[in-house]
Amino acid sequence: MAIASGGAAAPVTSKLQVSAGEIIVDNVSKSYGTGIFEKKVVKGCSFTIERNKLTVMIGPSGCGKSTLIKLLAGFEKPTTGNILLNGKPVTGPGRDRLVVFQESALFPWMTTYDNIMYGPIARGEADQKARDLAEFLLDKVGLRDFRSKYPTQLSGGMQRRAELARAMINNPEVMILDEPFRGLDAMSKELMWEYYSALFEESHRTNFFVTTDIDEALFLADRLIIMSNIPTRVRATIEVNIPRPRKLADFFTSERANEVKMTALSLLHEEAMKSFSGGSKAAADFVDSYARRSEQKA
């Protein structure tokens, strides 16, 4: 799959010097409120986001994944436990960890190019090197012909690509993505899986990707972290061990892909059943879908 317009993509190292960090989450818990009003969202959670790997977290809707993202980004602090980036405690937000959220965060009054350049401009670093890098990234995400367009003039997939470029220009050590393709239609979503996977395979920047879509998780992940129902903890960690580059056309026919998928679905079904018993609509939908899938396989 071509990932740049106007011919073959230049090697990512030609202009983008990639940093890659490692995050360790050590026995982290997070609660809100006190006394009888206390609500525990994360409980005794431990995992590692390995350097140069694409780690994907999947769990039931509403289990606490977004809370973990806030903790990793430094927007909030754990109630107990520690989060370390390259061995140093995370004490607040920083450009070494950038988050791409579910909702578009592009500035509607800025063009695609100006949105990508926002970070360097805000830091007073909008020199020729930054401008050259912005041009390189426009090519890399296939948006050169849309550089002067505003967000409302871009498709959902184009907006997602512009946000990836806006994060990449700041060279974070860890990219954190919170269900970034959730609002796209099925075809656009699958195109973004291949696009995003190809970008990762060129740079091998440390990536942490959160989703509720099992196919998305499996296609993207080097390591898959499966979370429990709320209060969330790690149910299982699976090394996917499927070679890159990956193409959707043949990925899900592999024996290993189906083995990992069945293991993950079984664990997610157990957690959804717990949510279902508590009245969760999202869990009920998952349980129903899982039951229909089992009937079709029988």
Question: What are the chain's domains?
Answer: 14-105+181-297 (3.40.50.300)
Would you call 187 helix, strand, or coil by DSSP?
A: helix
CA-CA distance, 196 to 133, in Å (whole number)?
Answer: 19
Q: What is the pTM of this model?
A: 0.84
Q: Which two tokens stand for residue 251?
A: 């990925």
Q: Which two tokens stand for residue 270?
A: 């157990």
Q: Higher-confidence residue: 5 or 205?
A: 205
- Are 176 and 50 within 8 A, CB to CB? no
Predicted pLDDT of residue 290: 52
Helix, strand, coil abundance in the chain, percent, nearest 5: 40, 20, 35
Q: Which two tokens stand for residue 172?
A: 């974070």
- Are 19 and 171 within 8 A, CB to CB? yes
pLDDT digits (tens, 9 = 90+) for 50-76: 999 999 999 888 889 999 999 999 999
Mark residue 115 as left, alpha or beta (left: phi above 0; alpha: psi -120 to 50; beta: remaining). alpha
Confidence of residue 80 (pLDDT cuts 50, 70, 90): very high
Would you call 85 helix, strand, or coil by DSSP?
A: strand
Predicted pLDDT of residue 280: 56
Q: If you write DSSP's letter for every residue of 15-50 in order, what string do you get?
A: T-------EEEEEEEEEES-GGG-EEEEEEEEEEE-
Which residues in the chain belong to E strands, given as ranges? 23-32, 39-49, 54-58, 80-85, 88-89, 97-100, 174-178, 206-211, 223-227, 234-239
| pLDDT value at 221 more than 80 | yes
Quick one: what percent of the chain has pLDDT higher than 70?
A: 86
pLDDT digits (tens, 9 = 90+) for 175-218: 999 998 888 888 888 888 998 998 898 889 999 999 999 999 99
